[in-house]
């Protein structure tokens, strides 16, 4: 389990992120067209998983905006916002913000992602939601970068995540 904080108060996640060098765990999530998507749908492409508690919070929104800007210049790479938000909320937010370079994925009906990536918070006011984390997967499905952000109200290290893409 990862030890993180929420506004300075300690909380934990259900486990650890996948390790760099390992095959990325499979998942089934729902996109904002209500279609199920899985890791195999991105075979041959690099994948940046921008994992967060809710698109309707300030830091989560900032990370979606930041990665949207970066995604415009990334070749053979899909950047995906992943949360438990309903697909309608994800689509509404990105539409209102003009975010067209990122994809959205929700775990609202399939729970394999949170257990395979071990990002569920076990305590605190956001218990049951995802922690803030980044997982980058190469075109062969191998994990090449991870970051479990140590404080939920802190932004991830965008530069390190994007640098992992080469």
* Residue range 99-111, pLDDT digits in tens: 888 899 999 998 8
Query: pTM score, two decimals?
Result: 0.93
Q: How far apart are the first and last CA of the chain?
A: 29
When pLDDT is cut at 50, 70 and 90, the band that residue 28 belongs to is very high
CA distance 152 to 155: 8
Confidence of residue 44 (pLDDT cuts 50, 70, 90): very high
Pick from 31-35, 38-42, 47-51, 97-101: least confident:
97-101
pLDDT of residue 156: 94
Active site includes 60? Answer: yes
Beta strands 3-6 and 9-12 are: antiparallel
Please tell me the predicted confidence (pLDDT) of residue 85. Answer: 92
- How confident is the model at residue 61, as a pLDDT? 78
pLDDT of residue 106: 96
The Cα–Cα gap between 77 and 137 comes to 9
* Catalytic site residue from 60, 61, 70, 82: 60
DSSP 8-state assignment for residue 74: -
Q: What is the pLDDT of residue 94?
A: 77
CATH topology of domain 15-163: Glutaredoxin (3.40.30)
pLDDT at 86 over 80: yes
Give the span between the Cα atoms of 100 and 7, in whole angstroms: 31
**Residue of 101, 160, 108 lying closest to 136 (CA atoms):** 160
Which has more confidence, 22 or 66?
A: 22
**Burial tier of 163 (Cβ tally within 10 Å: 0-12, 13-18, 19+):** exposed
């Amino acid at each position: 389990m990862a030890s993180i904080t929420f506004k300075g108060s300690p909380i934990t996640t259900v486990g650890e992120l996948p390790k760099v060098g390992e095959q990325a765990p499979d998942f089934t999530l729902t996109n904002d067209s209500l279609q199920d998507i899985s890791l195999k749908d991105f075979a041959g492409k690099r994948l940046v998983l921008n994992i967060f508690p809710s698109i309707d919070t300030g830091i989560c929104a900032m990370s979606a905006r930041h990665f949207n800007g970066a995604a415009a210049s990334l070749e053979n790479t899909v950047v995906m916002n992943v949360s438990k938000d309903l697909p309608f909320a994800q689509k509404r937010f990105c539409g209102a913000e003009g975010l067209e370079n990122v994809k959205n994925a929700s775990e609202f009906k399939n729970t394999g992602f949170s257990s395979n990536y071990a990002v569920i918070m076990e305590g605190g006011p956001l218990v049951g939601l995802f922690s803030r984390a980044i997982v980058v997967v190469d075109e062969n499905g191998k994990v090449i970068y991870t970051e479990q952000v140590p404080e939920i109200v802190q932004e991830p290290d965008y530069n390190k995540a994007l640098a992992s893409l080469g």
